[in-house]
Amino acid sequence: MQHLKLLSYNVQGGIFSRKYSDYVTNSWKHVLPHPERLVNLTRIAQLIQQFDVVGVQEVDAGSLRSANVDQIQYLARQAAFPYWYRQVNRDLGPFAQHSNGLLSRLRPGAVTEHKLPGLPGRGAVVAEFPLADGGRLAIGIVHLALGWRARKRQLDYLAGLAETHPLLVLMGDFNCGSDSRSLRAMVRRTGMQGLDRTLKTFPSWRPRHSLDHILVSAPLRILSAHVIDYPLSDHLPLSMTLGLPAGRRFAEPAQLRGQAFTG
């Protein structure tokens, strides 16, 4: 196996958005449960089941507003992912569990959580997948801050991660477009690929901004990248087919070591 099908999707806690006014009329759904959530999550699961590794943002880990459903676990079960992980970044007890989520068909060797600089509530989760030659491919799921000052510090932190992981994928909601100075500076510093202003994901009903990105280290090969017209959240999902450097492949299951993760 020498390539992966990746997907990044900000699912907005399972809330269906069709227009800007929904931010007002549906605001109560960010606090209270609604049966539409599971319907939307089931439809999202139908999409993601065709991918190898999926990163989701704005997923709830089980609280009042999600009817105590761990949404990342629900997606994993519905889409038949054997490995999944949740990173709770903003813990509001029984009322909300704001999280990043990772789903994978490959077993990772290690998973690490990172609290990003700035106000509490933003994080990155990095899974490392063993390669047959002893190396590792690291895949990070991120959700960055709205404010540019905090976001710049977070991008600097992610650039540091790139220095420690020769083969790295960073995917998620960066909350800034391809023309962002801080994002472009981070890409220049790390040499990562994948910044594409034509891949517009927000808002889902009339995409005009490229807020979601999949960035990869230079040795990795981008075989294709697409925005998928699947407007259930206020963001559209972003997909990428990724190739390993020539001569490298993922480890066979019998060669893998370490504890399988479940979140």
Around 51, how many Cα atoms within 13 Å sit in the side-chain half-sphere? 26
* Residue 78 DSSP code: H
Rounded Cα distance between 91 and 125, Å, is 16
Model confidence band, residue 253 (pLDDT cutoffs 50, 70, 90)? low
The domain made up of 3-255 has a fold known as Deoxyribonuclease I; Chain A (3.60.10)
- pLDDT score, position 251: 85
Average confidence score pLDDT of the chain:
92
For the stretch 187-222, pLDDT in tens is 999 999 999 999 999 999 999 999 999 999 999 999
Residue spans per domain, the chain: 3-255
Q: Please state, in angstroms and as integers, the Cα–Cα distance from residue 262 to each residue in 72, 93, 111, 156, 244, following that order.
A: 10, 21, 10, 29, 25
For the stretch 118-144, pLDDT in tens is 988 999 999 999 999 999 999 999 999
**Residue 100 tokens, joined:** 């990043």
Model confidence band, residue 17 (pLDDT cutoffs 50, 70, 90)? confident
- Predicted confidence (pLDDT) at residue 258 exceeds the cutoff of 70: no
Between β-strands 238-243 and 221-227, what pairing exists: parallel, antiparallel or unpaired? antiparallel
- Rounded to the nearest 10°, the torsion over CA 84, 210, 90, 153 is 110
Rounded Cα distance between 141 and 204, Å, is 20
- pLDDT score, position 252: 67
Query: Can you tell me which residue has the tokens 């490959």?
Result: 106
State pTM to two decimals.
Answer: 0.93
Model confidence band, residue 97 (pLDDT cutoffs 50, 70, 90)? very high
